[in-house]
Amino acid sequence: MTNFTCNSVVPYSFGGGMPSEVMTMQAPDSVPEVRHLVDQVARQVFPVIATIAAPYVYEGVARLPNAIQTGTRMIRDGISSIGDAWSEYLQDCRVRDAARSGNNELLRNILATAQISNLQRGRALFLAYSQLGRLVERSTPDYMSASYEEIERGEEAVNALHQRYSLIMTQLLDNGGIELSDENRTALFKYAVKFGNVRLVRAMLDGGPISQEVKIGAINIAVYLHWSSVPTPYVEIVRLLRNDVPAEALAEALDLGSWNTPRMIAALQGREYHEAPAHQVTLPEEDQVGRFYVVPEQLATSPEAYLTNIAENGLKPVTFMNPDGSQQQGLDAGGLTKQFICQLVESLITREVIKTDELRIPCSGQENLTAYVQFGKLLSHLERANQHRTDKLYIGEIFSQKAYELLQFLLKPQDPSESSEVRKERELIAIANAAVTTHTRQLVDFLNKEAPTDADIASLKQYFKLVMVDESFDSIPPEGLIAALKRQCFDSLGLESYHKTLSAIISGLSPSLKDLILTQGPAIERQLQGEINERLLHKLGSTSANAVVQEKLGWIKEKIILELQQDPSKTWIKRFLKSITSQAVMPAENIQVRESSDNMCHAHTCFCYLDLPKDNTTKAVFFERLELMMGEVGFGAT
């Protein structure tokens, strides 16, 4: 057996130190000896291990109840947290579902019984806004193909959606703040400004930063939309936004709103607006939303605001207002509406919102054709209103018969065998033929030729070289030369501008008016615009047997005959008709001439009455008195 030494060192333990022991053993030579050796080692080592481990075991056992209690508490807290999270998730789902569906009753109950965080409110608010956008897009009628009744129903549905979801948003704001991303906040802010939701605008400003650029744009929108003399939410919105906006931006908005009411101007300048009690206008709520409040000064300088309102909301009875907010005299029994439409169209033409060429064909060089779409809607509203009116509403002689011929041509259904490019070219050539003048005859003649000769091509190339100093046609291959010359003709004549303008008007027309234009063509001009001709003489009839009144009526008819012969523009006749009928064209009904109660001439525009004095006087004196009547510019006549 071999001898060996094993040093076993026992470290310091909880029970104190233990000296090292040196065990000297002999190497085993057989299995029994190995077993004996292992048994000896175990007998000496295990007690040492037990001595070291015992304190740890005792301490672990002592701590075990606390550990079990702590673990139980952690498990219970975890389960409670999971339950709270699940409850919050379910609550969030209920709020979002109520906002998405526009269920105001359900949302009211949730807000009354639960604590909703700002983040949840923000999510639900933007969800309601997004859902509103989708529903509005789905409900908006197709103005090109829908019937007029379908368009009305669609617009009513869209208005109802805005009202319902506006109430949802207001409820979410009534009980706390909101938390939104910058992008969502900006989108919601623009919506709130556009629809005059002051509370939502205020919450957007309080709940997070809105960029200065967005605020400036919002002020301009509010100024543009505040067209009424009565207080609107847009004035308050401007007051909320102006504090952090640079002075130069406010000055630009003031220029934009220089036509606007004193309330808006005061808001832009940061001062209070005080209305004199004597001029205070107090109207029932249903009357405020059911009428047009028109300030003549605004109508003359910014007619596009009124055009937009009619296009979106249709026709309503008219009340004319003074700049200070007081109401002018006169009740709208039809005459004020006619006066409003006449002045509106005149202002649109004067301000070049609606443009025509020298042949009175609509043509705009602007890319923004919204005004022409809205003008098409105005025509549709007038056509519909005239179905139920004896005193028709006319826009006056602003478009020529050729304009209605072109509208009829563009409305014709496309031949299935004809490509869109060929159809478009035919439409442009039709416009060229309608708008041709002496200066453009050569270009139009070339477009009308199906197979231009070499001489025609050479002549037109020479024309463009002289007019445009353009040599580029020399480098075009023969097979593409005719097409290139046609394109240049289209550009030189500005036909694309005509086409866009006419197409914009068509897009605003109701299906019933499209059908009328298709079937009647130029004849529709008289129904929409009215006319002035010798038939006016037969429309002037007297209900008085007084010989003096009959004589003065004869003088008026002589004047009309003379003006028809000598003045192609019919200026005096238009002024005469406008003073009696509120429109510069013949009325649909007759003009009744009656005896005046004094020595002056009087007109009643609502009923087309003309009162003539029965005193004996000279023709010159009589026409002086007639001119006084025709020169009255007030908007309160009846």
Which pLDDT tens digit goes with each residue over 316-339?
777 777 776 667 765 555 677 888
Report all structural domains of the chain as residue ranges with CATH numbers, in order of start: 2-84 (no CATH), 113-274+281-350 (no CATH), 370-529 (no CATH), 536-630 (3.30.2410.10)
pLDDT band with cut points at 50, 70 and 90 for residue 26? low
pLDDT for 85 equals 62
pLDDT for 242 equals 77
pLDDT digits (tens, 9 = 90+) for 401-442: 999 999 999 999 888 888 888 898 889 999 989 888 777 888
pLDDT digits (tens, 9 = 90+) for 522-531: 888 888 888 8
pLDDT digits (tens, 9 = 90+) for 61-77: 667 777 677 777 777 76
Distance CA 623, CA 63 (A): 119
Interval 192-204 mean pLDDT: 78
pLDDT digits (tens, 9 = 90+) for 103-135: 878 877 877 777 777 777 777 877 888 888 888
pLDDT for 558 equals 93
pLDDT for 324 equals 67
pLDDT digits (tens, 9 = 90+) for 352-408: 889 888 888 888 766 568 889 999 999 999 988 888 777 788 988 889 999 999 999
On the question of pLDDT at 227 being above 90, the answer is: no
pLDDT for 83 equals 60
Q: Is 139 helix (H, G, I), strand (E, B) or coil?
A: helix
Interval 231-243 mean pLDDT: 76
On the question of pLDDT at 562 being above 90, the answer is: yes
For 99, 187, 261, 267, 488, the CA distances from 219, given in Å and listed in that order, are 29, 15, 15, 11, 43
pLDDT band with cut points at 50, 70 and 90 for residue 550? very high
Using only the alpha carbons of the chain, give its radius of gyration: 43
pLDDT digits (tens, 9 = 90+) for 127-184: 888 888 888 878 876 655 556 566 667 777 877 887 788 788 877 766 556 677 777 7
On the question of pLDDT at 7 being above 70, the answer is: no
Distance CA 356, CA 363 (A): 5
pLDDT band with cut points at 50, 70 and 90 for residue 611? very high
pLDDT band with cut points at 50, 70 and 90 for residue 487? confident
For 130: left if phi > 0, alpha if psi spans -120 to 50, otherwise beta; the answer is: alpha
Which residue, chain included where needed, has tokens 């709103």? 257
Least confident range of 23-32, 111-120, 240-249: 23-32
Distance CA 576, CA 560 (A): 9
Which residue, chain included where needed, has tokens 């007030």? 634
pLDDT for 18 equals 43
220-303-272-210 Cα dihedral, nearest 10 degrees: -10
